[in-house]
Homo-oligomer: A and B are copies of this chain.
Amino acid sequence: MRQSQLFSKISKTPPREEISRNAKFLVQGRFIDKLMAGVYTYLPLGFKVLKKIEQIIREEMNAVGGQEIYMPALHPLENYIKTKRDKIDVLFHLKSASGKKLVLGQSHEEVIVPLVKKHIGSYKDLPLYLYQIQVKFRNELRAKSGILRSREFIMKDLYSFHKDEADFEKYYTAIQNAYRNIFRRVGIGEVTYLTFASGGTFSKYSHEFQTITPAGEDKIYLCEKCKIAINKELIEEAKYSCLQCKSKNLKEKKAIEVGNIFPLKTKFSDAFDLKYIDQSGQKKPIVMGCYGIGLGRVMGTVVEINSDQNGIIWPKTVTPYQAHLLLLDSHPKVKKEAEKTYDSLQKQGVQVLYDDRLESAGVKLKDADLIGIPIRLIISEKTKDKIELKFRNNEKLQLLSLNEILKTVTEYYQL
């Protein structure tokens, strides 16, 4: 992509109204644009990151047997009356033209349970794992921290259906591993911990995946030995000790909840009378679990974890482009070299952002640091017949031939 044609132009100053680091960089670098509080547009750069995060999540959900579906956002209010969730305050309420009371989905238990009930009868149909990657709406009174907590956001939600608790427990462990894979692959695995949280009124615990960062809104207590944590809401009940090794040596940390997994027991199955016939012909309630990840929140957290004072440092798995080629000269001969390099990289299957703008070298270098593509390539009068390569997370400069550049880039990305 030629940066001169990329929508939109990088801002020279960070947005005043954004407080969090991720929002500052993402808005200034034109990954996202704020329409109103808690409601954002993903611009071309941000959309590419979002799609890469989505694909990683999709692969890991498919690997644990998830079947992908797509449920609507418009829900009948009557389903929420059945689950006694019609009064929860984050619901957006609206009415159809024919007068039917509707809400916007803030989660999809009220749709998926009746759906599964229509189609499931026997123990032979279980277990079943269904997921979607879809928009959710929450009417938050205060939306803040950019895309970390928004009113409209894209979420992956998986729902699992089991014949009994034992079968559920097995899957609950499998999903934990899938989540670890996701957070590792997007570049926040090192600082993301399985965290015990409240299970609500019907389950002792649920679990969160919490990423440690000063930008976090949550407080967790980390056992560095066991690599697990306890959410603040549970710490008194746990008597300030690790739930695994019982050690009292816990570190208080700020963290962002990037995912959560929840044993639902038969709460929603009971509400809709979702049962199955077991091998002996008896009707039994279906045990459920649900598993969420907010894609925008993951993206914001990746930026909090992978950035410095100059901007973002994208992990190679989710970077919007793989190489950022900067032309720092307007001389026709130098420009010709840059065009040739751009073509050669693209022919090798490298995703290249080519800064062909009529901007000063200073602006281009500053913007490259802000956007944070892992590999920066510079062509100027000074580089002569070579190309300067620099990794975003390293100060070392290398002057290489085009062939060496192609080799380095394709090896780095395993193309």
Binding site for B on A (CB under 8 A): 4, 6-9, 30, 33, 35-37, 39-44, 47, 50, 67-76, 89-90, 92-94, 96-98, 100, 104, 111, 115, 118-120, 124-125, 128, 130, 135, 137, 139-141, 151-152
Contacts and interface: CB of A to CB of B under 8 A. Distances in A.
Contact of A41 (B41, B50, B71, B97): B71
Given A97-B141, A141-B98, A41 B74 contact: no
A278 B72 CA distance: 44
A63 to B, nearest CB: 14
B39 A74 contact: yes
B135 A76 contact: no
A135 B69 contact: no
Contacts of A4: 124
Nearest to A120: B8
Contacts of A100: 36
B74 A6 contact: no
A4 B125 CA distance: 8
A111 B139 CA distance: 20
A71 to B, nearest CB: 5
Contacts of A141: 97-98
A137 B96 CA distance: 11
B7 A139 contact: no
Contacts of A68: 44, 47
Contacts of A42: 69-71
A238 B7 CA distance: 41
A128 B41 contact: no
Given A7-B119, A7-B130, A94-B94, A40 B72 contact: yes
A79 to B, nearest CB: 9
Nearest to A11: B119
B93 A94 contact: yes
A69 B96 contact: no
Contacts of A37: 98
A43 B37 CA distance: 33
Contact of A89 (B43, B73, B97, B128): B97
A47 B130 CA distance: 12
Contacts of A67: 6-7, 44
A125 B7 CA distance: 9
A273 B218 CA distance: 43
B96 A41 contact: no
A47 to B, nearest CB: 5
A111 B35 contact: yes
B43 A139 contact: no
B7 A135 contact: no
Which of A6, A43, A93, A151: most chain B CB closer than 10 A?
A: A43
Nearest to A93: B94
Contact of A119 (B9, B35, B39, B124): B9
Contacts of A140: 97
The 4 A-B residue pairs whose C-beta atoms are closest, nearest first, are A8-B119, A42-B70, A97-B141, A44-B67
B36 A128 contact: no
A47 B62 CA distance: 14
Nearest to A68: B47
A152 B43 contact: no
Contacts of A47: 68-70
A111 B44 contact: no
A7 B151 CA distance: 31
A130 B119 CA distance: 40
A354 B98 CA distance: 43
